[in-house]
Amino acid sequence: MLTGAGVSAESGLPTFRGADGLWHGHRVEDVASPEAWERDPELVWNFYSMRREMARKAQPNAAHRALAEAEQALGERFFLCTQNVDDLHERAGSRRLAHMHGELFRSRCSVCERKPFGDEKLYPTLASIPLCACGARIRPHIVWFGELPFHLQLIMDELNRCTVLLVVGTSGLVYPAAHFVHWANSRHGTGLPPVRTYYVGPDEPANVAAFTHVFGEKAGKILPGLLQLA
Ligand code: OAD
């Protein structure tokens, strides 16, 4: 399974490219990059503090719950990869999941190799941003544009063994996640079992042509019924 911002939309969390896709007049790409961090760490922490606040108030919806229930039924045959940094999948009960773009409620040093740590705090001003023991600023544990996603080896291993790939609520514009469906399809004729590929979401993603089945509806409406068949 692969989820994107759309799976949290019914919990009240805005998608990245929905509406005008802007935050205080900035494109997301302009506040979620190493260049933005260099230029204006306060602005970057303002963005992630706001997202922490919204995620803290949000509750898992029927789609998150259906995915957690499917994991209960399927055990190790189920694996969830999410581009989302909120914790709504965990709060719904998902355990076999990988946050390929990082986690909103973790922070780490922007320079040294000290481990990321759990962090729910908000940092509204430059002076409030904590410093690591090495002296560098603490940054969000988020994969920014231009950085390498986390858990790629695990994700590729799971893609190689899956027989169904269900993709939910993503615009199919951000790589490498947008490529997973092509990767799954490219197994045809390799001796590995063929993969059925499903997309669920109200708008067609950019890579729609690659899916064998498309459900053009909201995740909360489709997933509870669809995953009962799992
Ligand atoms: P986008 O905002 O690009 O796309 C969200 C998708 O969710 C859209 O295609 C909507 O049609 C769909 N959607 C909206 N409501 C839905 C619902 N109720 N059920 C199902 N689908 C719904 O978000 P992502 O594709 O997740 O990266 O964005 C990918 C990455 O780009 C993000 O992880 C983030 C972003 O910039 C980083 O921050 C590195």
Minimum-distance ligand 1 atom for the alpha carbon of 85? 33
Residues 6+ apart with CB under 8 A from 63: 7, 10, 168, 169, 218, 219, 220, 223, 224
Instruction: Tell whether ligand 1 has an atom less than 6 A from the beta carbon of residue 60.
Output: no
Instruction: Tell whether ligand 1 has an atom less than 6 A from the beta carbon of residue 10.
Output: yes
Q: Distance (Å, rounded) from C-alpha 226 to C-alpha 78?
A: 15
| Model pLDDT for residues 37-66, shown as the tens digit of each residue | 999 999 999 999 999 999 999 999 999 999
Q: How far is the CA of 190 from the centre of ligand 1 (A)?
A: 31
Q: How far is the CA of 135 from the centre of ligand 1 (A)?
A: 35
| Model pLDDT for residues 189-213, shown as the tens digit of each residue | 677 778 999 999 999 999 999 999 9
- pTM strictly above 0.85: yes
Q: What is the pLDDT of residue 23?
A: 66
Q: What are phi and psi of 199, to 5 degrees?
A: -120, 135
**Comparing 228 with 72, which gets the higher pLDDT?**
72
| Model pLDDT for residues 10-43, shown as the tens digit of each residue | 999 988 877 656 566 778 878 999 999 999 999 9
Q: What is the pLDDT of residue 187?
A: 75
